[in-house]
Structure 1
Amino acid sequence: MKKLAICFSKNGAKIIEKINEACDGKDITPLTAYALTSSEEIPDGFTRVESDVYKWTSDNFIEGNALIFVGAAGIAVRALSGLPKDKLSDCPVIVIDDAGSFVIPILSGHAGSANKLAEIIASLIDAIPVITTSSDVNDVFSVDTFAVENRLTITEKSGIKKVTSRALENKKVTLSIKDYPPKVPVDVIIADETDAEHLLLLKPKKYTVGMGMKKDKDPSEVEEYFLNTLKENNIDVTDIYALCTIDIKEGEPAILNLRDKYRIPVLSFDAELLKKAPGEYTASEFVRETTGVDNVCERSAVLGAGTGYELVLKKTAKDGMTIAIAKRSGFKCI
């Protein structure tokens, strides 16, 4: 997802600049900077907010972007009024005071990784991360963080509270995976479906989508093709483990749009590694000449899926775009 920061003062702007100067591109990429101020001048690299904080917040919250307010927490709270709906779908929101002393995640700490982002930002500016989620402050198992880190889909939101309550009461949290069905009731089951008694079912994300496209392809066109292909194959976007492509395409705006909008990680491979993908593929001399390998979408989907893969959709092509889908063999805890 995109990370957008808004400030309301010169001090706030300096903090955003400090964060961006310290970014190494690994743990965090530079924030997209916005300024809402009556001052005639804004710092280089900032975009002036011409409307108001309410519209800016609403527009970007709906897009699923991570929002970072550098200013009073009350500004963020009022601007968010009526927007949060669900802890599993709300975008992460963070507040930083304009002295740069505290970094406070106030929304989507686990599912949206706001807590993790706050800790990274705090380390960059020597601030204190203020984490308030119960499982973190009591140092107990967080099932929603576990799901995010292991790319599992939470199917029953109510189960999160039940499992977390057990952890907070210092009770054991039991877990079963699909290859080893439980003989007694357990708290968490990792499987596609189950008839066993449980508190929470976590579904492994089963598919990798390999993609290729011409340079600077329109993101909305690629998104439509991506979603239609999933629909035609009865695959939900929440079941996608990763978007896969060749390394020279990982920065394409269309790829980044899908990554940010649907919170899907991107895996990229160089041409030499793609050539080593096991199996037979739909070869294209044009693709070979432009990328160094005869097929990008099928090969990348297979490499992303890992051992025991099944290529469930071979290469499909439309207007300079290609998609292939592979199915992963099972769940592997990260």
Structure 2
Amino acid sequence: MTLVLEEGKQVKLEKNGTYAIVAITKHGVELARNLHKKFPQTDLFYMSKFEREDEQRRNISLFEGNVRLLLPSLFQEYKGIIMIVSLGAVVRMIAPLLKDKKTDPAVVVIDDKGEHVISVLSGHLGGANELTKEVAELLGATPVITTASDVQKTIPVDLFGSRFGWTWESAEKLTPVSASVVNEEQVAVIQESGERDWWHYDRPLPDTIKVYPSIEDALHAKPNAALVVTHRNLKEAEQAILENGVLYRPKVIVLGMGCNRGTSMEEIEQVIYSTLEELKFSIKSVKAICSIDLKKDEKGFLAISEKYNWDFICYSADELNRMSIDDPSETVFKFTGAYGVSEPAAKLFSGADTLSLVKKKSGNVTISVAVIPY
């Protein structure tokens, strides 16, 4: 996609997200980068004078000139625009672009301190009200919604779980599944992992949305659409649920890891991929790599955590030794002061009593895998 900003100047980018984030101030850029990291369905735009030199790797777009020149293209390309710009300025800039409430994108404004998130345009049909709530939750801000009534109080399919960092496996069925929800058809929710407090209204789920204990039970009920939340890869017999369904990946997988000093990112990455493939887990559900504080500067761990936007958490030997583990090692204790690294680190971060994988050694890497219980 090419965005034309002014005569003779263009910005080229690969559009990945459904929503655009725009910032034009120093504090706004900090806030925008934080939101972009937490909200995976977004593309970020800010002025080139705030360049950090990591923009290309993080698929962040820089622009020069008045932000007003960026908006016509964003209006055409994105379902919603999140602007960290003063409300009055936003109103003046978008006024010439408004066409119809059925087609205008959602517009949400955040103040420069990140204290308030305001639904500005297309609150109902465009989904700005729901977007406002989700963004406010991610930032710990106050949502400001001024419409007299607040839509249907149902599940926004494209934003489902976004406050927790859930991502879609594919966006292919977002539109038809959203239609099923809005049209009050029978919709199944199957949740195997992830945060459980996703229903935030002060009323029960609509009668048309039912939660099932398994994909098998949902398939037997023959719903019109389905929302499936799991960290694992579906079996062939379960794939039918996605004929009109969206598969969400919650951030629940914790990788406890150790490695020999200087192990390359590529080797670490290969071990992670092969391990998750063996477990039939999705890499999109990885939340963190955890290790001992002796590894806090390990370049391979730092690089892969940055590449995939994972947390990288390190614990002291004393913290690790407080955990009960299946395979304590005197050799590991001799070199690190801890009786284990990958196994207790995975348990400590995840809070899980048992692990999906207990300490596998592969080349220069040791890995344990836990799933955060909710």
Q: Does the aligned pair in 1 maintain the 2:27–2:112 contact within 8 Å?
A: no
What is the alpha-carbon distance in structure 2 between the residues aligned to residue 47 and residue 195 of structure 1?
A: 44
What amino acid is aligned across from residue 300 of structure 1 in structure 2? A
Provide Cα deviations, 1:168-219, integer angstroms capped at 9, x if missing partner. 345564312455332302422335421554532345667432223578x5xx
Provide Cα deviations, 1:118-153, integer angstroms capped at 9, x if missing partner. 877644377856576527264642334334455655
CA 145–274 in structure 1, closer or farther in 2 if over 3 Å, else same: farther
What is the alpha-carbon distance in structure 2 between the residues aligned to residue 311 and residue 261 of structure 1?
A: 24
**1:294 match:** 339
Aligned-partner SS, 2:221: coil
**1:134 match:** 127
What is the alpha-carbon distance in structure 1 between the residues aligned to residue 86 and residue 187 of structure 2?
A: 40
Map residues 163-178 of structure 1 onto 2, 5 A cutoff: 163-169=177-183, 173-177=187-191
Q: Per-residue deviation at 1:324?
A: 0.5
Using structure 1 for the length normalisation, give the TM-score: 0.56
1:184 to 2:179 alignment:
no
For structure 1, list consecutive stretches of 5 or more residues without a partner in the other structure.
Answer: 38-45, 49-55, 105-114
What is the alpha-carbon distance in structure 1 between the residues aligned to residue 311 and residue 359 of structure 2?
A: 20
What is the alpha-carbon distance in structure 2 between the residues aligned to residue 126 and residue 251 of structure 1?
A: 37
Aligned-partner SS, 2:254: strand
What amino acid is aligned across from residue 74 of structure 1 in structure 2? L
What is the alpha-carbon distance in structure 2 between the residues aligned to residue 261 and residue 162 of structure 1?
A: 32
What is the alpha-carbon distance in structure 2 between the residues aligned to residue 160 and residue 65 of structure 1?
A: 23
User: Highest relative contact order (Cα 8 Å, sep 6+), 1 or 2?
Assistant: 1
Identity, in percent, stands at: 19
**1:226 match:** 268
Q: Does the aligned pair in 1 maintain the 2:332–2:340 contact within 8 Å?
A: no
What is the alpha-carbon distance in structure 1 between the residues aligned to residue 259 and residue 81 of structure 2?
A: 33
CA 267–27 in structure 1, closer or farther in 2 if over 3 Å, else same: farther
Q: Does the aligned pair in 1 maintain the 2:257–2:367 contact within 8 Å?
A: yes
Map residues 139-288 of structure 1 onto 2, 5 A cutoff: 140-149=154-163, 154-169=168-183, 173-177=187-191, 179-180=213-214, 181-182=217-218, 183-186=220-223, 187-191=226-230, 192-193=233-234, 194=238, 197=241, 199-200=244-245, 201-202=247-248, 207-212=253-258, 222-233=264-275, 235=277, 237-246=283-292, 249=295, 254-281=300-327, 283=329, 285=331
What amino acid is aligned across from residue 343 of structure 2 in structure 1? E
Q: Per-residue deviation at 1:95?
A: 4.8
CA 47–165 in structure 1, closer or farther in 2 if over 3 Å, else same: closer
Using structure 2 for the length normalisation, give the TM-score: 0.52
What amino acid is aligned across from residue 341 of structure 2 in structure 1? V
Q: Does the aligned pair in 1 maintain the 2:289–2:312 contact within 8 Å?
A: yes
For structure 2, list consecutive stretches of 5 or more residues without a partner in the other structure.
Answer: 1-20, 39-45, 94-105, 132-150, 193-212
Bigger mean CA offset, 124-133 vs 138-147 = 124-133
Q: Does the aligned pair in 2 maintain the 1:309–1:326 contact within 8 Å?
A: yes
Q: Does the aligned pair in 2 maintain the 1:102–1:122 contact within 8 Å?
A: no
What is the alpha-carbon distance in structure 1 between the residues aligned to residue 113 and residue 161 of structure 2?
A: 25
Provide Cα deviations, 1:102-122, integer angstroms capped at 9, x if missing partner. 599xxxxxxxxxx9xx87764
What amino acid is aligned across from residue 260 of structure 1 in structure 2? E
CA 233–95 in structure 1, closer or farther in 2 if over 3 Å, else same: same
